[in-house]
Amino acid sequence: MTNVHVPVLKKEVIEYLDPKPNENFIDATIGQAGHTLAILEKTAPEGKVLGIEWDPELYKKLKEKCLIWKIKERLILVNDSYSNLKKIVEREKFQPVSGILFDLGLSSWHLEESGRGFSFQKDEPLDMRYCTHFLRPWETCTAEKIVNEFSEEEIERIMREYGQEKFAKRIAREIVKTRKIKKIGTTFQLVEIIKKATPDWYHHQRIHFATRTFQALRIAVNDELNNLEKTLPQALEILEERGRIVVISFHSLEDRIVKDFFKKYSHGVALFACKILTKKPIRPGKEEIIQNPRSRSARLRATIKI
């Protein structure tokens, strides 16, 4: 299995999911299958993984790789959003489920190869959609539409709320000012606007000055926080008793949603209850951060259904 994407916190994911031979798991954000391959090794000879990938292009690439890896019979791939988790499981008749993984990070493929404007280091169209198939009207929203058509107040709210951008007001104002002269269509155009709107000292921080704006737009385009809130209760319902949920988040708002959900259900407020396995979020060690700098903001939380 060569040329496999190196997943974040792989050792910790396996530790907290605790896969055993012949058990079934769901990778709700399969991406490039790094975690899935590790799970399949532990669940041999007959354990299966239901892998969900929202992006049709990445899904297609993964299906081709499965033939090379010779794991097709143990990996069920679905091109859909994890927000439809319960329907997917029912449709695929995928039971019982011993664990579910959510790796909420942006894949390296999206940054490096998709050509959809996820990276501020490449000059690409401002798209930022994971799914480019227009299944429902609200999925036609792109980053370009937000910066060119949304009100200044709404752009500011998106940057402040989803990006926690301290200069949200100034950036939103500069975006509106610029679009009156010329349509904003590319990532480099947007980077220049952000640079112009922010003070010089902000351009020399550890994190690139455009990071928070790009993050905010991506979250807004894909409705990521709402999708996560809709999915977690479905995950807990689907699980077998003693089944586990592991979530890796890369954003404090995502992490708060996961933390609050686990806490709420650990008090037995509904038909389903869980016990928190991680009192504090698990972070990558220094060695992993050196090998994979993108892992630096990763936080892992886990719970077990009781």
Per-residue confidence (pLDDT) for residue 201, from 0 to 100: 96
pLDDT at 196 over 50: yes
Q: Are 39 and 17 in contact (CB under 8 A)?
A: yes
CATH number of the domain that 194 lies in?
1.10.150.170
Is the confidence at residue 214, as pLDDT, over 90?
yes
Q: Has residue 70 been placed in a domain?
A: yes
Mean pLDDT across the chain: 91
- Please report the beta strands in 20-115, taking only residues with DSSP state E, as ranges in sequence order: 25-27, 49-53, 75-79, 99-103
Residues 92 and 217 in one domain: no
Confidence label for 65 from pLDDT (cuts 50, 70 and 90): confident
How far lies 135's CA from each of 6, 59, 146, in Å?
A: 31, 16, 19
| CATH number where 67 lies | 3.40.50.150
Using pLDDT thresholds of 50, 70 and 90, give the confidence band for residue 108.
confident
Which domain-ending residue is among 187, 222, 257? 222
ω into residue 199 within 30 of 0, thus cis?
Answer: no
Q: With respect to residue 278, please indicate whether it lies within any of the assigned structural domains.
A: yes
Q: Give 4's pLDDT tier (boundaries 50, 70, 90).
A: very low
- Asked if 106 and 119 sit in the same domain, the reply is no
* Domain assignment present for 82: yes
Claim to verify: residue 119 and residue 216 sit in the same structural domain: yes
| Residue count of the chain | 306
Asked whether residue 4 is domain-assigned, the answer is no
* Cα gap 279→298, rounded to integer Å: 16
Three-class SS of residue 87? Answer: helix
Q: What is the pLDDT of residues 255-267, one digit of tens each?
A: 999 999 999 988 7
Please answer whether residues 52 and 78 qualify as being in contact, where contact means their C-beta atoms are separated by less than 8 angstroms: yes
CA separation, residue 120 to residues 55, 123, 160, 163, 168 (Å): 20, 7, 19, 15, 17
pLDDT of residue 2 exceeding 50, the answer is no
Count of domains forming the chain: 2
Which pLDDT band holds residue 104 (cuts at 50, 70, 90)? very high
> Cα–Cα distances in Å, from 8 out to 71, 276, 288, 306?
22, 21, 8, 27
Confidence of residue 112 (pLDDT cuts 50, 70, 90): confident
Domain with 235, as residue range(s), is: 10-110+224-305
User: Do residues 251 and 103 share a domain?
Assistant: yes
pLDDT at position 3 = 42
Q: What is the DSSP letter of 114?
A: S
Whether 134 has a pLDDT exceeding 60, the answer reads no
